[in-house]
Amino acid sequence: MDLSQRPRRLRVNPAMRALVAEHAVRVQNLIEPLFVVPGSGVREEIASMPSVCRLSVDQLAEDAKKIAALGIPAILLFGIPPEKDDAASWLARDDGPVQRAIAAVKQAVPEMLVVTDLCACEYTSHGHCGVVRKDGTIDNDRTVDLLVSGALSYARCGADIIAPSDMMDGRVGAIRAALDAKDFIDTAIMSYAAKYASAFYGPFRHAAGSTPAFGDRRTHQMDPPNAREAVKEARLDAAEGADIIMVKPALAYLDIVRAVREAVDLPIAVFNVSGEYAMLKAAAREGWIDEERAVDEMLVSCKRAGADIIITYFARSYAARLAKR
């Protein structure tokens, strides 16, 4: 037995373990996703996502105050419009739920960074992420035009960061050019650059009523077996002017986070998605898993993989727990 090396020496007690910890999750790097719906006084829990609610603008502003008080610097808004149609008419309306929420949050908590998810699927009656042709396929270039109009609307209403989540080709460059042309030079773009066609979005689609009525998202979202392609997507979005590159989902894609981290110099965000949240919540509810320890592990694994920013439905509960430590 060779015991000249005893790695356990650095694990003997909590102080020693803390001293040598290589990574930590800071509340300042978390983003909390929120769902905004029409109406007022609305706060309905999403069945598949315990403690996550669909909120009307007034309620969302209240939550934003609490989120800020926990030290979380940013929220990511998803909108559910009063009506869905083929043209995603509500996407670019300055009186849409997301647009009104931006203003309400800025008034309630001026320092809160507001990130707006930008995609058509919450706004279309067919649930697809863009303009659908007669043959059922998605028209990339017309979809980009639609996204540009949505981005301009969010920017006009005061969004700090626009986050296109559609995976159309060329949309980051088009959005950047349109923002610059209207002098929104400080409005940042966080691109969902490597977003996979994943089963882990199930609860989200439930929450947003955005399950495609026919077909799926495999012609635009990435194919799970591919890693090199993620690096290509990330580099393209960086070249088109993205400020932050996102990988999504998180847990089954931490190798992608690492690969993208090494390929581009921009901050990397990772999205710990609805299915990852639901899975853990369900197991914890059954008493099969210790939620707090599992969350700690999940979040630090994102950091270890190289993510700077973590978007997670656990942001609030995690921050509340850190504050008590």
Q: Which residues bind ligand PBG (CB under 6 A)?
A: 117, 119, 121, 129, 165, 201, 204-205, 210, 273-274
Residue 201 near which of Zn ion, ligand PBG, none (CB within 5-8 Å, type-dependent): ligand PBG
Give, as one character, the DSSP assignment of residue 167. Answer: -
Q: Do 36 and 114 contact (CB within 8 A), yes or no? A: no
CA–CA dist 233, 224 (Å, integer): 14
Interacting partner of 163 out of ligand PBG, Zn ion, none (Cβ under 5 to 8 A depending on kind): none
Instruction: Quote the least distance from Cβ 317 to ligand PBG, whole Å.
Output: 16
Asked if 268 is part of the footprint of Zn ion (rule: CB under 5 A), the reply reads: no
CB 31 within 8 A of CB 112: no
- Residue 102 vs 129, nearer CB to Zn ion: 129
Residue 84 designated active-site: no
Rounded to a whole number of angstroms, the minimum distance from the CB of residue 119 to ligand PBG is: 4
- Cβ proximity to ligand PBG, 51 vs 107, nearer residue: 51
Residue of 168, 36, 21 whose CA lies nearest to 103: 36
Output the CA torsion sign for 155, 29, 234, 202. Answer: negative
Q: Which is nearer to Zn ion, 117 or 276 (CB)?
A: 117
- Report which of 196, 5, 227, 217 is spatially closest to residue 132, judged by C-alpha positions: 217
Indicate which residue of 84, 106, 195, 281 is catalytic: 195
248 an active-site residue? yes
What Cα–Cα distance (Å) separates residue 69 from each residue in 176, 295, 320? 32, 21, 10
List the catalytic residue out of 65, 66, 182, 248.
248
Count of chain residues binding Zn ion (CB under 5 A):
3
Which of 104, 121, 151, 266 binds Zn ion (CB under 5 A)? It is: 121
Of all helices (H) and strands (E), which one includes residue 257?
helix 254-263
- Give the integer Cα–Cα distance in Å for 235 and 170: 12
Select from Zn ion, ligand PBG, none the partner in contact with residue 75, using the beta carbon and a kind-dependent cut-off of 5 to 8 Å.
none
State in angstroms the smallest separation of the CB of 121 from Zn ion: 3
Distances 149 to 41, 143, 146, 176 between C-alpha atoms, Å = 29, 10, 5, 12
CB of 205 to ligand PBG, least distance (A): 5
Nearer to Zn ion (CB atom), residue 32 or residue 117: 117
Residues 123-152 that bind Zn ion (CB under 5 A): 129
DSSP state of 7: G
Per CB under 5 A, the segment of 55-63, 112-120, 194-202, 276-284 that binds Zn ion is 112-120
Is 119 a binding residue for Zn ion by CB under 5 A? The answer is yes
Place of tokens 């090494």: 262
Active-site annotation, residues = 195, 248
Binding site for Zn ion (CB under 5 A): 119, 121, 129
